[in-house]
Structure formats: structure tokens, C-alpha cells
Structure 1
Amino acid sequence: MEIKVLGTGCAGCKALFETVCEAVNQLGIEATVVKEEDLLKIMEYDVMSLPALVIDGTVVSKGKRPSVEQVKELLR
């Protein structure tokens, strides 16, 4: 599973990255978690609100910071 946190390095983006890492660890799943800060690459996902969460190429959350429990639900 590949998980990307899209964001320009703001506090919310960094917090979402930490939340995703925590959710992956709690679930004990094999996943690659990447923080994507390149604006050109972010634009490829057609996301206008950051931070955004992408799981296996699909945008599942944008413009908000889901909780650990919400991220775990998205990963299941």
C-alpha cells in the first residue's frame, strides 16, 4: 500500500503525516508513507485544498486533518 500526504510543509500537513504514520503502526500494516511537498506533483492529483491524503493513487481526504481513528477507517 502506498500512502501520500500532500502538502506544502505547513503545520497541518506535518500533523497529518504523523497521524498517518501512527495509524499505520497501530494497524500493523505494510505501507509506504510519503510526504509530497512538490507543488507540481500535488497539482497532478487535482487537489485545491491541503492537506490531502492519497491511498494507492486515490484521493480519500482533502482540506482537513482526519483523526487517527478516521485514518484507520480509510486504510481498512
Structure 2
Amino acid sequence: MEIKSIKILGRDGCRNCSTMFQNTMDILAEKNIACDCQHVTDLQQIMAYGVMSLPGLVINDKVVSYGKILSKADIEKFIEVN
């Protein structure tokens, strides 16, 4: 399946959320994957996904992880299987 969008759901100023976003951007660059990648901090948008624990990882509008700080290797696995 082609990855069209990735969203990291997190809070402004959250170091872990920002790190997860940067790690995701690094992986996309390393693998030459072109997709829309966003760091979503708007609480209403986050709640629309039903996510109550941050950070969250959304691939192609499907929540694949939340409430866990993922390593680069974990993020890469989610990207590969989606």
C-alpha cells in the first residue's frame, strides 16, 4: 500500500512528540518516501482520531499507535507494513 499521509499527534512543546515527528521525517528522507507528514497539535483534530494518550502515529488516516514513544525502528516497521 502506498503511504499518502503520516501524522504525529502531539502537544506543542512536548519533547517526545517532537522527537517522534523528527524521527519520522528522517526515516521518510532515508527511504525516499514522498508523502504528506504533519505534526498535529490541535486538540480537536487529535480527539477526532479517538486518541487520548500522546504521542500518536496515524498512517493514511488510520491510528497505528498511541500513548507510546516509538523508536526509529518501531516507526520504520509501521511504515513498512502500511
TM-score by length of 2: 0.87
RMSD (Å), alpha carbons = 0.9
**Counterpart pick for 1:42 among 24, 33, 46:** 46
Aligned to 2:27: 23
Q: Is the 8 A contact 1:23 1:69 kept in 2?
A: no
Q: Is the 8 A contact 1:50 1:64 kept in 2?
A: yes
- Gapped regions of structure 1 (runs ≥ 5): none
Q: Is the 8 A contact 1:49 1:62 kept in 2?
A: yes
**Counterpart pick for 1:7 among 10, 14, 25:** 10
Q: Is the 8 A contact 1:54 1:61 kept in 2?
A: yes
Aligned pair 1:66/2:70, yes or no?
yes
- Gapped regions of structure 2 (runs ≥ 5): none
How far apart, in 2, do the equivalents of 1:17 and 1:42 lie?
Answer: 15
Aligned pair 1:33/2:34, yes or no?
no
Aligned residues: 76
Question: Which stretches of structure 1, 4 residues or longer, exceed 2 Å deviation after superposition?
Answer: none
Q: CA deviation at 1:68?
A: 1.2
Q: CA deviation at 1:71?
A: 0.9
Q: CA deviation at 1:26?
A: 1.6
